[in-house]
Structure 1
């Protein structure tokens, strides 16, 4: 089972903590998963392995 689901907010922990929304999940032949993420500010999809993603931290109450 994949760690992230379509629609979840994630961030790229491997590079500048870019955040975005998971728009597709792809199983690989070795049993792991790849994710298509609509990364904010780029207007393109970026593809990540599960190890490079984490759930995005939302800042509530920040002004």
Structure 2
């Protein structure tokens, strides 16, 4: 998924693609993060705390644990 489309999604959104050799994951955090790895999965999916300016408090967002 292109970076511009990921930016429009909610914070914590992620998309991935995998073939038999390389795993590529892109997620929306403070900025769009792209990671390529030979570890072929995004599981487990963890959560991290980030400050939300719109809600004015810390919120938990999903993040692949790679």
TM-score, scaled relative to structure 2: 0.31
- Larger Rg, first or second structure (1 or 2): 2
The alignment's TM-score, normalised by the length of structure 1, stands at 0.32
Higher helix share: 2
Query: Is the strand fraction higher in 1 or 2?
Result: 2
